[in-house]
Amino acid sequence: MSKELVIQIENARVEMEGRTILSVEHFEVSRGERVAIIGNSGSGKTTLMRMLKGYVPCKEGKVVVMGDVFPITDPKKMKTHHRHIGMIHQHFDLIGRETVWQNVYHGRLGYVSLLKSVFGVCSERDLQICAQAIHEVHLEDKQRRFARTLSGGEQQRVAIARALAQEPTILLADEPVSSLDPALAEDIMDLLVSVCDAYDLTLMMSLHLPELARKYADRILAMKNGKIMWDGSSDSLSNDRICEIYEFMGTNGVVNGNGTRASRSAFTWPYGWQGQPLPGG
Amino acid sequence: MAGKVSLFLAVSALLFWSFQGSEFSPGQFWRGIPQLFHFFGRMTPPDWSVWDVLLTSAVETLQTTIAGTFLGALFAYPLGVLAASNWTPIWVHLPIKAFMAFVRSIPLLLLALLFVSAVGLGPFPGVLALAVHSVGVLGRFVAEEIEATDPKPLLALQGTGASSLQIIQHGLIPQVLPQMVAHLAIRFEMNLRDSTILGLVGAGGLGFYVFLYVKQFQWQKSGVLVLAIIALVFAGEFAAWQVRKRLI
C-alpha cells in the first residue's frame, strides 16, 4: 500500500464566535486508509470534516488536503477541492423532488459548465459515470423514482452514488448510519467500505457506535471537546479501552429533558454497544 | 392568577366595546329574518332570459382573473426571490418587502376604483387591480417559501462543486416549485372570487350586472347572475383544490 499522505494537519484551530471548537495538533491520513471518528455530540467530529471540506475556515496552523494548502481563496480551486472530497450526510440531504438519477447526476455538476447544465446537456461520459455509480449501489431499478419516495437506507445509497459520481479521492461520511436502523446500518457500512476498496478511496467517517467503528475502520480517532484524545488501530481498541475513552469523554451522564445531568445509573449505553452483536449483524 | 384575571377583564372590555360600538342588536336581526327570505324570494324564479349576459360576463370575469393573476405572478416571482431574506442583502429585501406590504394594505376595491378612474370602465382596470394585489400577496408567499427551504441539501450540492446558479437550478427550484404552483392556484381561486365583485366599482364582469339589475329592481335577473357567481367560485375552488392535491 502506498503511503502517500492525502490529509495533513498541524496545529490547526477552528473558532466559532470567539470560542475554539476544534484544535488538532497533529493528524495525518494516508491514501486508502479507513478512519472512524468517535466521540460525543459537540466533540468536534463534524467540525473536523467541515474544515477538511472547506466549509469552516481554520484560524491558524497548517492544513493540506490532496496537496491543496488551506485556506483556499480561489473559487475555481475551491470547486476542484469540493470535487475531490465526496461527502455523505446523516440525513442524506438529497433533493427529494428530483429522481434518483438526477440526484446522482448532481455529483457531476462540478464538471459541467453552467450553460450545459441549464439545457440539460449530458456528455456520454457523465451518463456512463452516473450509470456506474447507480450500479455500484444497486439502485438500477429505482433510478426513475423520486428520491423522497425511497426508504432511508435507499436514500443513503443514492447519497453514496452521488458522492461516487464526483470521482472523489476522499470520502467523508458524517454519521452516515445514525438515522438508520441497526440492520440497515450494517448494509450501508458494508457498501461504503466495499466502494471505497473498489475505487481506492480514503474514507473518514464519524460514527456513534464504537462497535461499528471497530468493525469497519482500520484506524479509530476518539475526540472530546475539539481535541483528539486517542488515535490508533482498531485492533488495539479493546472493550475496556472503549469504556475508558467514553468514561474519559464523560458519557457517563446524559443531559435529560430538564437540561440537568442524569445520574450514572439512569444512563443506558447506546444500542448495540458492549460487545453485544448487532441485530442482523 | 392576577394576570389571568386582568387579561380576562381586558378581553371582555374589548369585546363589549366592539359590540356596543357596532350597534350589535340581536332583536333587530331576529325581526329582519323574514326580510332576508323576502329578498331571496324576489330572486326566484330566476329569469333565464339573461343567459347571453350571463355567458359573456362570466367569460369576462374568467378572462379578467386569468390575465390579472398571470400579470401579478409575472412580477411576484422575481420580486419574491429578491425579497427572501436569506438570499439577498437587507437593502434589497427590506424595501421590496415593505413595498409588498404597502400594496397588500390597499383594499382591492379601492385599487379597482383607482384604476377605473385612471383607465376608464370595463374589465381592464380589474385586471390591473388584481395584478397589483397579487404582487403583494403572492410575492410574500414566494419569499416565505424560499426562506423556509431546507438549506442542507443546497449545501450538499455546493459540496459536489456546483456553482451558485447550478445550486438554484438543481436545488432551490425543485424544492420550492410545487409550493409555488400551489400558491398560484390559491391566488387564482381568490382572484376569481374577488373579480366577481369588482363590477361594483365598474370594473367589469358578473358583479357589474348583478349591481345593475339590483339597481333596476330586476331581482329575478340578478338572481341568475348570483347563481352564476356561486357556480364559478365553486368551480375555481375545485380547480385549485385539484391542482394542490396533485402537487402536495
Q: Where are the domains of chain A?
A: 5-266
Distance CA A248, CA A250 (A): 5
Whether the CB-CB separation of A172 and A53 falls below 8 Å is answered with: yes
Whether the CB-CB separation of A220 and A41 falls below 8 Å is answered with: no
Number of Cβ atoms within 10 Å of the Cβ of A126: 18
pLDDT of residue B35 exceeding 80, the answer is: yes
Topology of the domain comprising B46-247 = MetI-like fold (1.10.3720)
Domain A5-266 superfamily per CATH:
P-loop containing nucleotide triphosphate hydrolases (3.40.50.300)
Residues of A with CB under 8 A from a CB of B: 53, 55, 79-80, 82-83, 85-87, 89, 91, 93-98, 102, 106-112, 114, 117-118, 159, 162, 165-166
Report chain B residues whose CB lies below 8 A from the CB of A53.
159
Instruction: Give mean pLDDT in consecutive 10-residue pieces for chain A, a chain of 281 residues.
Output: 78 86 89 88 86 86 86 86 90 89 90 81 87 90 89 90 92 88 87 90 88 88 85 78 62 39 40 41 34
Across the interface, whether the CB atoms of A106 and B170 are under 8 A apart is answered yes
Q: Min CA distance, A229 vs chain B (Å)? A: 29
Residues B96-119: what's their mean pLDDT?
93
Cell numbers for A58: 481554520
- Of A63-77, A262-276, B95-109, B207-221, which gets the smallest average pLDDT? A262-276
Residues of B with CB under 8 A from a CB of A: 152-153, 155-163, 165-166, 169-171, 174-175, 177-178
For an interface test with A, the pick among B150, B160, B172 (most A C-beta atoms closer than 10 Å) comes out as B160
The residue among A205, A227, A224 whose CA lies nearest residue A29 is A205
Q: How high is the pLDDT of residue A244?
A: 66
Report chain A residues whose CB lies below 8 A from the CB of B162.
106, 109-110
